[in-house]
A = this chain, B = another copy of it.
Amino acid sequence: MNIYDIAKLAGVSIATVSRVVNNSPNVSERTKQRVLAVMEEHHYTPNVFARGLGLDSMKTIGIVCPDVRDAYVAGLVASLEGRLREYGYDCILYCSGYKKEKKEQAVELILQKRIDALVLAGSTYAGGGLQKKETDYIRQAAAQVPVFVMNGRIDGENIYCVYSSDYQATYETASAMIESGRSKILFLTDSHSYSANKKLEGYEAALRDHGLPVLGSRKLYTKNQVHYVRDILLARKDLDFDSVLATDDGLAVGAVKYAHARRLQIPKDLCIVGYNNSELAVCCEPELSSIDNFAQELCGMVIDEMMGLLREETTPPAHKEVACHLVKRCSTDF
């Protein structure tokens, strides 16, 4: 029996149950009595979730991220932490890695802390966006505290998702590549996350809409390590491509290194686009065109909405999409 069940049985929202528990004036006497009756009937004590919605707050937010060594993830954590501090909140950080059981364990452990809300900072938590059971652990967490998911879309009560328009970004970029004369775009990725899958969908849709075939041999899943990517591209002589659309800058730099090793000219012989617009994009030579997904803005939005919710002033939208933007540098010619 959790807040989710109580809300359902009483026919009200989680926010309303919270208001009743917190003795907020913004709830009618009739509703209040109905909620209290359901709670009593089911021997429900509000300790578990009350802590999450105002009662006895430690002013602490849990952040679970896969690996803070990843430049994109580090940017998220830094921005979240900074904005939380502005509101006088602390954060407890868990780095979970990318494995399913480790992610579930991290969420389970952090819920044992007195946190007011939980941020899942990375697309990996949303699973591939294909099977609902992949994300059951998040819906269970949301029965205890509000959960904010960054760069993934999960449906469920008390879950609020903010994500980049990755589909749109790769659709537009692949289309621009095709319209500038490329017909063999290699999709390079290291992930089956929600976000990576959206990027793949956008890429495939662009091919189809331009009458080009979608080929398995034009999609490469690899480790995100510069030399590893270079070497695998050198080894895979069966791959035939005139351009690369990568889901992370590190992967794209690997393609740049491959071009150097093969003495291909960039962008003439090989056009390359990275993702996340990180420091790596300006370190490599030539400098990399890269899709910026405005991670810092995403984080500010998440924390602002979270604070509105915790103060019971506003309810965040369940889903919010933020547009990406291609930053053109020297690895593209469109």
Contacts and interface: CB of A to CB of B under 8 A. Distances in A.
A282 B283 CA distance: 9
Task: Give the 7 A-B residue pairs with the shortest CB-CB distance, closest first.
Answer: A285-B285, A283-B283, A74-B74, A93-B93, A68-B78, A69-B78, A283-B284
A94 B227 CA distance: 34
A54 interface: no
Contact of A68 (B68, B85, B253): B68
A215 to B, nearest CB: 29
A256 B74 CA distance: 25
Contacts of A279: 71, 226, 250, 280
A113 interface: yes
A75 interface: yes
A125 B162 CA distance: 35
Given A93-B91, A94-B81, A285 B282 contact: no
Contacts of A280: 279-280, 283
Interface centre among A82, A250, A279 (most CB of B within 10 A): A279
Interface residues of A, number: 31
A95 B90 CA distance: 10
A29 B284 CA distance: 66
Contacts of A78: 67-69, 95
Contacts of A285: 256, 260, 284-285
Interface in A219-246: 226-227
Contacts of A94: 81, 85, 90
A324 interface: no
Contact of A283 (B85, B90, B91, B253): B253
Interface of A: 60, 67-69, 71, 74-75, 77-78, 81-82, 85, 90-95, 113, 226-227, 250, 253, 256, 260, 279-280, 282-285
Given A69-B78, A71-B279, A85-B95, 5 more contacts: A74-B74, A77-B93, A91-B93, A250-B283, A260-B285
A250 B278 CA distance: 12
Nearest to A296: B69
A60 B226 CA distance: 36
A283 B226 contact: yes
Given A226-B279, A280-B283, A90 B69 contact: no
5 contacts: A69-B75, A90-B94, A92-B92, A260-B285, A285-B285
A284 to B, nearest CB: 5
Given A92-B91, A253-B283, A285-B260, A77 B68 contact: yes
Contacts of A256: 285
A87 to B, nearest CB: 13
A175 to B, nearest CB: 28
